[in-house]
């Protein structure tokens, strides 16, 4: 298997070209299996792990970070071998904590960033976060305040790089310009939804990432499972659910062509979808969310797939995207 390491955008740190997403830990995947997946990821060369303070849908917010923290606590160099990314913005409600308005709501105030960073560090059982990401844009909080908070955490050695997630292209530009005014490095990465069936970031987010040197970290690379062989799974009964069935029916025409093409080239649909992202030089690492070891191994196999020009053209015909970058996609 061919996991490779590349710079996070134009920054010095090297990360694996597959990012281990942990959202399912403690929800669909119990702690024992989560530990096995993380150990296996390191064995395969995956050093880039992504989580968030809000993850823990099976219990309470922060549970996923706590699972990772207990895995780190086993020692064996696990923390030192991992480039760890987590996020701040969303509510983090814990049973042991009294209700508090800032914690219980969304935002990027200096108060919240400092408080949530301390909570993440404690749950993760680490002294530092390698990539601290804003989980969403907060356009009501002034950048003076937000960057002051991140700058303080960097000065204290608690944060190394700052990233964004779900930012518009102009939000990326604004954040980077405001950071530059303060002598700060600015954003290292942007985490956006990006897959064959949703290519809207090609309009303005990808050009902004390229201009400012950000790495792009696509989330939901299989479109919630639609690009992972949805038709076959639905017909065989391996995947059910009213919402999933509605999504399949809404996209059936494209999925039939897509899964036929995947059979023709001899690769599973989920692996082809990941390979398509990996062929884009702006992409640092798509985030995978394996529930099992088998799903992890399947995702890594995608790194070995070579999609020739003809195949990529066929994929573009099935999933045409917005027509390129702005403004050429809609003007001249």
- The residues that are catalytic are 55
Cα–Cα distance for residue pair 35/29, rounded to 1 Å? 10
Give the number of other Cβ atoms within 10 Å of residue 269's Cβ.
23
3-state SS string over the chain?
Answer: CCCCEEECCCCCCEEECCEEECCCECCCECHHHHHHHHHHHHHHCCCEEECCCCCCCCCCCCHHHHHHHHHHCCCCCCCCCCEEEEEECCCCCCCCCCCCCCCCCCCCCHHHHHHHHHHHHHHHCCCCEEEEEECCCCCCCCHHHHHHHHHHHHHCCCEEEEEEECCCHHHHHHHHHHHHHCCCCCEEEEEEECECCECHHHCCHHHHHHHHCCEEEEECCCHHHCCCCHHHHHHHCCCCCHHHHHHHHHCHHHHHHHHHHHHHHCCCHHHHHHHHHHCCCCECCCEECCCCHHHHHHHHHHHHCCCCHHHHHHHHHHCCCCCCCCCCCCCC
The rounded Cα 83 to chain-centroid distance in angstroms is 13
CA distance 219 to 199: 12
| Partner residues linked to 84 by β-bridges | 49
């Amino acid at each position: 298997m061919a996991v490779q390491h590349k710079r996070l955008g134009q920054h010095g740190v090297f990360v694996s070209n597959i990012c281990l997403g942990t959202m399912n830990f403690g929800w669909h995947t119990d702690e024992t299996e989560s530990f096995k997946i993380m150990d296996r990821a390191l064995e395969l060369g995956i050093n880039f792990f992504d989580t968030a303070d809000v993850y823990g849908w099976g219990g309470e917010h922060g549970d996923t970070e706590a699972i990772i923290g207990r895995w780190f606590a086993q020692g064996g160099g696990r923390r030192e071998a991992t480039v760890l990314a987590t996020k701040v913005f969303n509510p983090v409600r814990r049973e042991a904590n009294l209700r508090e308005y800032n914690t219980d709501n969304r935002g990027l105030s200096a108060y919240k960033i400092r408080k949530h960073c301390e909570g993440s560090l404690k749950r993760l059982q680490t002294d530092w976060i390698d990539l601290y990401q804003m989980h969403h844009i907060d356009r009501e909080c002034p950048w003076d305040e937000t960057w002051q908070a991140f700058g303080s955490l960097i000065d204290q050695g608690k944060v190394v790089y700052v990233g964004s997630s779900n930012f518009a292209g102009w939000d990326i530009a604004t954040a980077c310009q405001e950071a530059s005014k303060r002598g700060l490095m600015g954003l290292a990465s942007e985490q956006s939804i990006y897959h064959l069936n949703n290519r809207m970031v090609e309009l303005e987010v990808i050009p902004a990432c390229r201009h400012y040197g950000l790495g792009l970290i696509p989330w939901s690379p299989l479109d919630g499972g639609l690009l992972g062989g949805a038709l076959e799974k639905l017909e065989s009964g391996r995947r059910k659910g009213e919402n999933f069935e509605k999504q399949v029916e809404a996209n059936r025409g494209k999925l039939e062509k897509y899964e036929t093409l995947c059979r023709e080239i001899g690769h599973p649909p989920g692996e082809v979808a990941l390979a398509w992202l990996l062929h884009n030089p702006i992409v640092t690492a798509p985030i995978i969310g394996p529930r099992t070891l088998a799903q992890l191994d399947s995702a890594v196999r995608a790194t070995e797939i070579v999609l020739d020009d003809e195949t990529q053209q066929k994929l573009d015909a099935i999933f045409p995207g917005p027509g390129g970058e702005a403004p050429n996609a809609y003007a001249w």
